[in-house]
Amino acid sequence: MSGYYFALAGCVALVVFLTYLLRRRRLREKYVVIWLVVAVSVCVLGAFPQLVLAVTRAVGMETPSNLLFATALLVLLGVCIQLSVEMTEVEEETRTLLEEVALLRYDVQKLSDETVRTTDEDA
């Protein structure tokens, strides 16, 4: 039975860690939601294992572990896709910013050249 308490403690620790990251602004809310949902549901299922058995029977699966593995894979797949999408967005934003930096650099250079010329003429 010690494995059972160990797993439960792990889930609670995960929830606490995620909340900590969120509070310290190390993790944005849009990324933390899915992890909190996962952590809380694992806690609930860990505390009441008979729930898993009920769900397994309801979806027509033989063993509860298969249900858990399948769900875990789907959740991880979803998270990966979400991260790829966000990554693409960030790359596009970086690109736009780089363009602006280059265009601004050009204008600054031009302005400073002109200022130098005007100052020289005044002197």
Partner 1 sequence: MTDDRRRTLLVILPAWNEEEALPGVLDELHATLPEADFLVVNDGSTDRTAVAARRGRTMVLDLPLNLGVGGAMRAGYKFAARKGYQAAVQVDADGQHDPADVRRVVGALESEGADVVIGARFAGEGTYTVRGPRRWAMKLLSASLSRLTRTRLTDTTSGFKASNRRAIELFAADYPAEYLGDTIESLVIASRAGLVVRQVGVTMRPRAGGTPSHNPAKAALFLGRAVLALLIALSRPTNPPIGETA
- Residue ranges in contact with partner 1 by CB under 8 A: 94-95, 98-99, 101-103, 105-106, 114
Question: How many residues does the structure list for the chain?
Answer: 123
Cβ-proximal residues to 21 (8 Å cutoff; 6+ apart), any chain: 27, 32
Q: Which is nearer to partner 1, 28 or 86 (CB)?
A: 86
Nearer CB in complex with partner 1: 63/94 = 94
Distance CA 65, CA 61 (A): 10
Find the shortest distance in angstroms from Cβ 112 to partner 1.
13
- CB of 33 or CB of 108, closer to partner 1: 108
Number of DSSP helices (H) and strands (E) in the chain, helices first? 4, 0
**Least distance (Å) between residue 114 CB and partner 1:** 8
